[in-house]
């Protein structure tokens, strides 16, 4: 019998997985996005095509990949292409439906910082890893999802450094910059879900069972707007937890946190 008490990570992964549609071509990252995609593939989206930044198309990993270039992604994949090809022919050309993003800071308009904390690029307070593929994924995937714990420091009014574009300064920003993708259509946190309103501002649209609007407001760095029709996310199911814990991450490397 699966223990139905779940961690914050499990809650976010399960809710992100539910947002994927069968047939989506997804640009997957290691860690939690990888679990969300593999969970979706084993539940409602068997035809999901998983693409990994290292150049692997249609991966079907037999074990939990521990890095973006894990050899388990290659064996049994549909195709393996060069890094230039994955970014040019697949992402820039518009062949990717979904991208997963994360970062140290996500601001009011869904812009992401994964580069530096502090405002002086040349003398950062904290140096973060940087863009990797995120800058292009955010710009060119048809739609993006962000998974991150709901904490004030992670959701400032404005990012210290814009590594990847959300809705820039607000409505119309993406179109003006000539970006092809829709941008971050949902931010899944451990409290609920934020989605952009018509101005591009991230707005609370759903709460997980047992969570409150006040918790979300208290943990957001800007005056968080709340949608008129608030939804409650569906309860986490035993099946979802069982697949995650028994099949995908049996030693709890990415599930245990939170």
Partner 1 sequence: MTKLIPLTEAVSQFVHDGDTIYAAGFTHLIPFAAGHEIIRQGIRNLTLARATPDLIYDQMVAAGCARKVIFSYMGNPGVGSLRLVRAELEAGRLEWEEYSHFGMISRLQAGAAGLPFMPMNQTGAADLEAANPNIRRVTDPYSGKEVVVVPALNPDVAIVHVQRADAQGNAHLWGIIGEQKEAAFASKRVILTAEEIVDEAVIRSDPNRTLIPGFIVSAVCPVPFACHPSYAQGCYDRDNEFYLKWDKISESPEAVKAWLDEWVFGVKDREEYWQKLGAETHQRLRVKPNLSEPINYGEY
The correct pick among 4, 78, 88, 230 for binding partner 1 (CB under 8 A) is: 88
- 201 lies in the binding site for partner 1 (CB under 8 A): no
Is 249 an interacting residue with respect to partner 1 (CB under 8 A)? no
- Which residues in 160-189 contact partner 1 (CB under 8 A)? 161-165, 168, 173-174, 177-180
* 100 exposure class (CB count in 10 Å sphere: 0-12, 13-18, 19+): buried
Candidate list 8, 131, 142, 213; residue touching partner 1; CB under 8 A: 131
User: Interface residues for partner 1 in 48-67 (CB under 8 A)?
Assistant: 53-56, 66-67
Q: Applying CB under 8 A, does 123 fall inside the site for partner 1? A: yes
Output 65 or 192, the one with its CB closest to partner 1.
65
- Which residue, 1 or 122, has its beta carbon nearer to partner 1? 122
Q: DSSP strand E in 97-239: where?
A: 98-101, 105-106, 112-113, 116-117, 126-127, 143-147, 184-188, 192-196, 202-207, 225-232
Q: What CA–CA distance (Å, rounded) separates 165 from 200?
A: 12
200 binds partner 1 (CB under 8 A): no
Collapse the DSSP code of 105 into the 3-class scheme (helix H, G, I; strand E, B; otherwise coil) and give the result.
Answer: strand
Active site residues: 53
Q: Which two tokens stand for residue 214?
A: 């006040």
Q: Dihedral through CA 58, CA 63, CA 67, CA 69, nearest 10?
A: -40
The footprint of partner 1 on residues 89-118 (CB under 8 A) is 91-92, 111, 115
Among 2, 19, 58, 81, the residue binding partner 1 under the rule CB under 8 A is: 81
Of 153, 219, 159, nearest to 192 by C-alpha is: 219
By the 10 Å C-beta count (0-12 exposed, 13-18 middle, 19+ buried), 167 is classed as buried
Residues 136-155 that bind partner 1 (CB under 8 A): 136, 138-140
Three-class DSSP category at 45: coil
- Binding residues (CB under 8 A) for partner 1: these are 30-31, 53-56, 66-71, 73-75, 80-84, 87-88, 91-92, 111, 115, 121-124, 126-127, 129-136, 138-140, 161-165, 168, 173-174, 177-180
């Amino acid at each position: 019998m699966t223990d139905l008490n779940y961690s914050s990570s499990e809650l976010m992964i399960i809710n992100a997985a539910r947002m994927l549609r069968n047939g989506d071509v997804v640009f997957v990252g290691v860690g939690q996005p990888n679990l969300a995609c593999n969970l979706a593939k084993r539940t409602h989206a068997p035809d999901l095509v998983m693409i990994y930044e290292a150049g692997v198309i249609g991966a079907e990993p037999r074990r939990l990949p521990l890095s973006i270039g894990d050899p388990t992604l290659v064996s049994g994949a549909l195709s393996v292409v060069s890094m230039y090809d994955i970014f040019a022919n697949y992402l820039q050309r518009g062949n990717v439906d979904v991208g997963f993003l994360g970062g140290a800071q996500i601001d009011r308009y869904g812009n992401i910082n994964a580069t530096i904390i502090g405002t002086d690029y040349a003398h950062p307070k904290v140096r973060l890893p940087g863009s990797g593929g995120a800058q292009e994924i955010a710009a060119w995937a048809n739609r993006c999802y962000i998974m991150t714990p709901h904490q004030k420091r992670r959701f400032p009014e404005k990012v210290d450094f814009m590594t990847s574009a959300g809705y820039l300064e607000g409505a119309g920003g993406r179109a003006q910059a000539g970006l092809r993708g829709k941008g971050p259509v949902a931010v899944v946190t451990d409290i609920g879900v934020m989605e952009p309103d018509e101005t591009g501002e991230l707005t609370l649209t759903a709460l997980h069972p047992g969570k409150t609007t006040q918790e979300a407001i208290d943990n957001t760095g800007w005056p968080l707007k709340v949608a008129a029709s608030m939804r409650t996310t569906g309860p986490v199911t035993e099946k979802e937890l069982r697949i995650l814990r028994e099949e995908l991450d049996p030693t709890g490397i990415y599930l245990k946190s939170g």
